[in-house]
């Protein structure tokens, strides 16, 4: 899983949301960004992760950060996921997984003993200058959103 490393400038991108409105990383200039990549809408781990980030959205906002979730699901799938789960965060669609690959969050995975290519759950904390300050790869969902929030708070003090 190559890709972007701590200290690198975050790779710019523009992707559609659930309503096909394009959002760009550049829209977040001068703000902190939590950029997380997840495998699939409406699966148990991805649902928990999205709910956890949604539940902490106001705390992230007070800390000066926006949250962006990215998967290869379609905008329509994101719309159903947001509605079904009552999510309050921005989800973007990368159907061709170009941005996912650029960030090194695409690779070989094992499921039920079979190997396949897919999104590897990963999170990037990007500072207001567009630099990657922290990376979590192969994320375990339980407690992750809280850990990202605490890291954001400590990075802001540094």
pTM (predicted TM-score): 0.94
Neighbours of 30 (CB within 10 A): 9
Contact 138, 45 (CB under 8 A): no
Residue 11, pLDDT score: 96
State yes or no: is 46 an active-site residue: yes
Rounded to 5°, angle at Cα 69 from 66 and 74? 135
What domains does the chain contain, in order, with CATH numbers? 21-157 (3.40.30.10)
What's the mean pLDDT in 11-25? 97
Closest listed residue to residue 14, CA positions, set 89, 136, 102, 104: 102
* Model confidence pLDDT, tens digit, residues 57-94: 999 999 999 999 999 999 999 999 999 999 999 999 99
First to last CA, the chain: 28
Give yes or no for a contact between 10 and 29, defined as CB atoms under 8 angstroms apart: no
pLDDT at 102: 96
Q: How confident is the model at residue 2 (pLDDT cuts 50, 70, 90)?
A: low
pLDDT in tens, 109-151: 877 788 889 999 999 999 999 999 999 999 999 999 999 999 9
| Residue 18 pLDDT greater than 80, yes or no | yes
Long-range Cβ contact pairs of 81-88 (< 8 A, separation 24 or more): 81/18, 81/41, 81/42, 81/47, 81/50, 82/18, 84/42, 85/42, 85/47, 85/50, 85/51, 85/54, 86/54, 87/50, 87/51, 87/54, 88/54, 88/57
Per annotation, catalytic residue among 15, 46, 65, 148: 46
56 in Cβ contact with 44 (< 8 Å): no
What sign does the CA torsion over 45, 77, 1, 108 have?
positive
């Amino acid at each position: 899983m190559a890709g972007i490393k701590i200290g690198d400038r975050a790779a710019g991108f523009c992707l559609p949301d659930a309503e096909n409105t394009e959002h760009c990383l550049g829209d977040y200039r001068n703000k902190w960004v939590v950029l997380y990549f997840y495998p699939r809408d409406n699966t148990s781990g991805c649902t928990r992760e999205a709910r956890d980030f949604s539940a902490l959205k106001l705390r992230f906002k007070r800390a000066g950060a926006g949250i962006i979730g990215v998967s290869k699901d379609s905008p329509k799938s994101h719309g159903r996921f947001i509605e079904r789960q009552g999510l309050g965060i921005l989800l973007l669609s990368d159907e061709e997984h170009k941005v996912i690959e650029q960030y090194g969050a695409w690779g070989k995975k094992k499921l039920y003993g079979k190997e396949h290519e897919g999104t590897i759950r990963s999170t990037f904390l990007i500072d207001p200058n567009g630099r990657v300050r922290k990376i979590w790869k192969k994320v375990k969902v339980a407690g992750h959103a809280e850990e990202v929030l605490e890291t954001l708070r400590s990075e802001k003090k540094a």
